[in-house]
């Protein structure tokens, strides 16, 4: 099967527009987080609210994560 074609900027913009029109805030948040962090899907979907948001509501900018596939610790950043 090989490597899949990467998304183009146009692909991403169309996807964002579609999710906004559908008011699909969950998937829009996942897309934004995926683009910011470049985490693999399995690592992205394993994130919890507590991983991203502190007890007082502040958003964590750095999200230290151990990748499931490689066990390497990465430090993705939310922008």
Q: Is 71 left (phi over 0), alpha (psi -120 to 50) or beta?
A: left
Q: Does any domain span residue 36?
A: yes
Q: Does any domain span residue 2?
A: no
Residues pairing with 73 in the sheet: 66
Q: Does any domain span residue 1?
A: no
Output the pLDDT for position 28. 94
Average per-residue pLDDT for the chain: 88
Q: Does any domain span residue 29?
A: yes
Q: How far apart are CA 12 and CA 76, in angstroms?
A: 20
**Helix crossing, 9-21 with 25-37: angle to 10°?**
150
Output the pLDDT for position 48. 86
What is the domain count for the chain? 1
Residue-wise pLDDT for 50-66, tens only, equals: 888 888 988 888 888 88
> Which tokens go with 15?
């996807």
Output the pLDDT for position 72. 83
> How many C-beta atoms lie closer than 10 Å to residue 63's C-beta?
19
Four-residue CA torsion sign, 37, 42, 44, 50: negative
State the residue range of the domain holding 53. Answer: 9-74
Q: Does any domain span residue 39?
A: yes
Write down the pTM of the prediction. Answer: 0.73
């Amino acid at each position: 099967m090989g490597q899949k074609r990467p998304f183009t900027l146009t692909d991403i913009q169309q996807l964002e527009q579609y999710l906004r029109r559908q008011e699909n805030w969950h998937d829009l948040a996942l897309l934004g987080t995926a683009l910011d962090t470049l985490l693999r899907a399995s690592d992205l979907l394993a994130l919890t609210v507590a991983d991203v948001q502190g007890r007082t509501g502040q958003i964590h900018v750095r999200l230290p994560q151990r990748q499931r596939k490689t066990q390497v610790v990465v430090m993705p950043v939310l922008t």
